[in-house]
Structure 1
Amino acid sequence: MTTAKPTLFAARGLEVVAAFQVKFMMLDVSGHRPLLKDPPGHSTAGGKLATQHIVLEPKEPGGTTWTVGSINVATESAKVRSFDCVKEIHRMRFRDRPFLIDRQQYQSFLDAAVAFLRERGMAVEIESSLPELSEPPGLASLDPPDGGRPGAMAATVALVVVVAAVVAFLLLRS
């Protein structure tokens, strides 16, 4: 039985994962360990699927995993989130739950991660504010054509059901 060999960008991604794990395996960021996720498979479709996420994974089960950045070996670029950005994401997700990541520990990790990525020739962008959330493609086409009047969809469905019932009644009667 043979296993598929990773393509160029997938192989590069796996190399960066291995180096990242060696560099950060002993680091503790407030009970979390930094991980770089593997590429999505043996092929990245020519680099189109080459994004890999950097996460802080809880050492204890049941904790929150934080996505704190991403890399793309095909474009040789990376994005990492500042402490304030991650804290704001936490606030939006969990409202009043305390944010248990220590600022100094996170900043030490962030500085080391940025240096690590730059050593590998990546252009690094630091996200200091929330990423803009865009509307998924095709979602705008789901808006009701009638301007969104309440009950318009329900009335249309009811009318279709009544017409179908009348047609069925007339066909069965004859």
Structure 2
Amino acid sequence: MSSVKHTMFAAQALSQADMFKALLGSVRLPTSLGDYRPELSAPEGESTGGGKQSVQHIKLLPAQGAGPTLVMGSMDAKVKTAELRSFDGFCQMVDLRFKGAGPRPAGEPYEALVTKIVGFFNSQAVAVTMKGLEAPAAPEGAAPQVPERLATPVPRNRLALALGVALGVSAGVVVALILS
């Protein structure tokens, strides 16, 4: 009987996916369209390309029957970081994807699931960040909106610039005199 050999990063990712399933696979998240269960995706092949394809998705799958898969975040096994959608960010994604008719969880159960997932990643020494609401996309053909703080020009301190140039030129002249 032959066994599949995985590279270091692929084996690590597979191990984390298996642990995630063992610890959180029985958790259920009630939504408007039925219960969902969390899953950390496993690598597709024997290799992650030396860690270049080390991102694993944190998904919500229908607990029973068919339904859409929802992505609530991702984890990069190589750099040991994870990003999870906040409740508002998750609901925004569901509303955009399903035009308001998708499986929406209630806030408390979603936050409880996030807390369990964060606990899992903390036990694996994976740093977790939360992703909130995303800015809505500009309509087609519209000019991109620049945040006001970026649209205003940054004032330049001309005295500091002139002094820096003068000191640079002076240092260059001194070095040239010493070397000649």
- What's the TM-score, normalizing by structure 2? 0.68
Conserved 8 A contact 2:29-2:110: yes
Query: Amino acid of the residue matched to residue 28 of structure 1?
Result: R
RMSD (Å), alpha carbons: 1.9
1:128 shift after superposition: 1.1
1:132 shift after superposition: 9.1
The Cα offsets for residues 93-140 of structure 1, whole Å up to 9 and x where unpaired, read as 12231543121111100011011101111111111123898xxxxxxx
1:14 is matched with 14
Map 1:132-147; keep pairs closer than 5 Å.
Answer: none
Alpha-carbon distance in structure 1 between the residues aligned to 2:121 and 2:136: 23
Map 1:111-126; keep pairs closer than 5 Å.
Answer: 111-126=115-130
The Cα offsets for residues 37-65 of structure 1, whole Å up to 9 and x where unpaired, read as 10121101110001111101011323221
The Cα offsets for residues 48-96 of structure 1, whole Å up to 9 and x where unpaired, read as 0011111010113232211011111111111111111110011111223
Gaps of 5+ in 1: 134-174
Q: Percent identity?
A: 29
Query: Amino acid of the residue matched to residue 51 of structure 1?
Result: V
Structure 1 residue ranges (4+ consecutive) displaced by more than 6 angstroms after TM superposition: none
Alpha-carbon distance in structure 1 between the residues aligned to 2:92 and 2:65: 23
Conserved 8 A contact 2:12-2:77: yes
Matched, 1:77 2:81: yes
Aligned length: 133
- What's the TM-score, normalizing by structure 1? 0.70
2:109 is matched with 105
Conserved 8 A contact 1:83-1:107: yes
2:143 is matched with none
Alpha-carbon distance in structure 2 between the residues aligned to 1:122 and 1:132: 30
2:92 is matched with 88
The secondary structure found in structure 1 opposite 2:29 is coil
Shift in CA distance, 132/16, structure 1 to aligned 2, threshold 3 Å: farther
Shift in CA distance, 125/34, structure 1 to aligned 2, threshold 3 Å: same
Conserved 8 A contact 1:40-1:50: no
Conserved 8 A contact 1:40-1:49: no
1:3 shift after superposition: 4.2
Alpha-carbon distance in structure 2 between the residues aligned to 1:40 and 1:29: 26
The secondary structure found in structure 2 opposite 1:56 is strand
Gaps of 5+ in 2: 138-180
Alpha-carbon distance in structure 1 between the residues aligned to 2:119 and 2:53: 24
Query: Amino acid of the residue matched to residue 2 of structure 1?
Result: S
